[in-house]
Amino acid sequence: MEVGKIISIFEISVEVVVSDNTIKIGDVLEAVDNSKYRFEVIEITNTTALCISLNSTRGLKKGTIVKKVDDGLKMEYSDALMGRIFDAYGEVLDNKEFKSIKKKFINNSTVSMKDLNVESSMLKTGIKVIDFFAPMQKGFKMGLLGGAGVGKTVLIKELIYNLYNTSKINSIFVGIGERSREGKELYDDIVSSNLLDNMTMVFGQMSKNPVVRSKCVQTGLVAAEYLRDEKKGDVLLFIDNIYRYIQARSEISMELKEMLVGNGYPSSTAAEVSKIEERLSSTKDGTITSFQAIYIPADDYNDDAVQNVVSYMDGQIVLDRHIAELGIYPAIDVFKSTSRLVDKDKIGERHFKLVEETLRYLTRYQELEEIIAVLGIDELSDEDKNIFHRSRKLRYYFSQPLHVSEQFTNIKGEYVELEDVLNDVENILNGTYDNVDEKEFFYIGKYNAH
């Protein structure tokens, strides 16, 4: 059905003079002579419709006639999505045959308070520093925050390895605005280890225009909701990286000449984020446990967009450049990493006390480092010397050989049980390991006393 004619064209938006007043927000339009040009309606007046272009507008002619093709963007909503890889608009990327069975709009609504479920069991990740400082629970949202190049993606990949590869629990991976190379390598890894069956992947990588990048998270959510609501099971959702969604929204706002507030984000950022995060909830049918990488622009932890997303998280792991600089990976800042579970009633008194004591040691260590820079190590009291050396051991102990970084470290990756971590930390703190060289704790799993 022909509905109008294009009168203005920009990089990612067009304006259409409409000849049909049934056009609604969210409708998908297409150029009659070329299906390459597709648009989503975002604003309407009596006579015009403002649309964002789903693909590049390059080569699009003024005066092009458009027709309406759908009531909104849709994503597969059936078992056919398992083991497949999709683009942001729900089209398969793997060049294999795909028969669409049932589709659903990607702009779904959030979960009501009535259906929300908050109780659940603990989820171990096998990564020492996470299980110890920021323990997870099914249904949690865990934010993995870090500046550029401090290891967010590696950590996400390790979590996929430890959680998905061992349990084969239904999982979704959403790649937003990240490197195409990494996306393809992750896909290849999963295919070559024959683990694709229970995984659905959605990609809108950084080489794509902002419209693609902003849509792919919703497309991924439809898949997660299917697994929760229809398959009635638990779901793991990995998002790398949710900041790119806000960034893409800002780019679109800029193109539409909307007023931007601090650091170039649209004033609607908080609303946009809530539309995503509130959908990621657990119900009586199943849990959605999500790990969301959050990029910190310009290493500015207080960035508006970052803080906005963080406020929805049940826990956070913060990666720090200074720790990465020391060669300690995962480069986690233990002072900023925590979760809602760190509570005496939830993880037990022993674990809780150990966390408190470890933080006390490491805080003192930071102060001591400054003293040493001025006076030298010999001037410390014996107690401080103990704290200094034990803290260094702890710091090294929380490095870990990861399965997915075997190629960097040449050390075999290890999954570590929480019980072992608690024992080792206890022994370091109470001085049992005072005579062991600190390097012995560097890149190990659990400590094996000789």
Partner 1 sequence: MDLNIDKVIDDIKKDNNIFSAGKVIKVNEYNVEVSGLIDVAFYDEVDIAGKAKGYVFAIHPNKVIVSLTEVEDKIMPGDLVYSLNKEYKCLFSIDSIGKVVDIFGNDLIAGKKFNNLIEVSIDGLDIPLMDRTSVERSLLTGISGIDLMYPIGRGQRQLIIGDKKTGKTQICLDTIVNQKDKNVICIYVAIGKTKKEVKEIYYDLTKNGAISYTIVMASFNDELPTKSYLTPYVALSVAEELMLQSFDVLVIVDDLKKHADIYRQISLTSNKVPGRDAYPSDIFYAHARMLEKGCQHKSGGSVTILPIVETKAGDITDYISTNIISITDGQIVLSKKNFDKGLKPAINYGLSVSRLGAAVQSKELSKVGSKLRRELLAYLDVKDIYELSDPSELSPALKESIDRGNKMINDLKQYKYSPKSESEMQTLFSYVERVEKEG
Annotated catalytic residues are 152, 178-179
* Between 98 and 442, CB nearer to partner 1: 442
Q: How many CB atoms lie within 10 A of CB 67?
A: 13
The 3-state DSSP class for residue 330 equals: coil
The CA distance from 416 to 426, in Å, is 16
Six token digits for residue 183? 């996306």
Closest distance of CB 257 from partner 1, Å = 7
Closest distance of CB 260 from partner 1, Å = 5
For 331-361, b where at least 16 C-beta lie within 10 A, e where not — what string?
A: bbbbeebbbebbeeeebeeebbebbeebeeb
Q: Are 238 and 178 in contact (CB under 8 A)?
A: no
The 3-state DSSP class for residue 105 equals: strand
What is the end-to-end Cα distance of the chain in Å, rounded? 78
Q: Are 281 and 288 in contact (CB under 8 A)?
A: yes
* Between 332 and 422, CB nearer to partner 1: 332
* Between 209 and 289, CB nearer to partner 1: 209
Closest distance of CB 380 from partner 1, Å = 11
Closest distance of CB 299 from partner 1, Å = 4
* Between 36 and 232, CB nearer to partner 1: 36
* Between 169 and 260, CB nearer to partner 1: 260
Rg (CA), the chain: 25
CA 173 to mean position of chain CA atoms: 9
Q: Are 171 and 200 in contact (CB under 8 A)?
A: yes
What is the identity of the amino acid at 135? P
Closest distance of CB 279 from partner 1, Å = 25
